[in-house]
A and B are shown apart, each in its own frame.
Chain A
């Protein structure tokens, strides 16, 4: 797939256009939607309150009418007792008219009560839905935020891995160079060992050796001097011995001179 779909997908993933992100941020959409639901719930609640108010007004009216009705009934009874049948008739006919109004109002009252109950139930259900939505919204927002963070981490990691790639290259170069140097050093060692190359650096070793030789030689000289002094102090009677010893010592000195450097080298 190399068409428009893929390319657009690549572009959107690649550049993560900030303006688009903001427009498409589901968190804002969710918050807005929640706000709308709250407004709706508020409307329903206001409706319930309005209906309840109307119901109460009807109840008051009903009470008034019933009061008037019983008053008219009393008046009729009194008129009849006084022998005024015409008045009693008037009172009763008015009461009948009131009674009709009362019946109408009672019907209205029942209707309103039913309406109110339905609305209350609807408001409760809506409240539950809005609550559930709020919970879900928060979950989604958290998920989205986490996903965003993950994306950021992912980006950071890919950035790091790129840098690590650079570091890796540097290490590789360093290793190559080291290996090259080691190979060269090895070759030089071999050449030196085979005698194809003069060991100029070996001069230092010789200096040390000659110093050691000189020191050990010096020690021999000192020892020799001390031995000679001791022999001389031993007396002239043993001059023969001394001559013989001297010869022996000369021999031993020659031997030590040839032996000592070999010992020191080891």
Chain B
């Protein structure tokens, strides 16, 4: 599975790590919805670290479509909320 961290690049992740990441990811979504800025920053950092730690970076000239996309490390909560709300994919 290929994950893109926006502004950073792509990493190839073993599907086995997905469960671990999924927990953090769901947590991040909950915090994004709740508007918990502090929790959002903490969880985003943890999630990005986990992705970087578990994944192998793809060469910059590779052209693989990303299956999952993560916000850039410096993305703010309002930015991510705006991104998610833009297409009306975030219910409620």
Contact = CB atoms under 8 A, between A and B. Distances in A.
Pairing of A with B: yes
Interface of A: 1-15, 26, 29-30, 136, 140, 143-144, 147
Contacts of A144: 63
B21 interface: yes
27 contacts: A1-B18, A1-B22, A1-B68, A2-B26, A3-B25, A3-B26, A4-B28, A4-B32, A4-B84, A5-B3, A5-B21, A5-B25, A7-B29, A7-B84, A8-B69, A8-B71, A8-B84, A10-B89, A11-B83, A11-B86, A12-B69, A13-B65, A14-B87, A26-B63, A29-B60, A140-B61, A144-B63
A30 B61 CA distance: 8
Nearest to B21: A5
Q: Give the bracket for the number of chain B residues in contact with chain A.
A: 20 to 34
B90 interface: yes
A29 B62 CA distance: 12
Contacts of A6: 25, 68
Nearest to B30: A3
Q: Most chain-B CB neighbours within 10 Å: which of A11, A14, A26, A140?
A: A11
A4 B22 contact: no
A26 B71 CA distance: 19
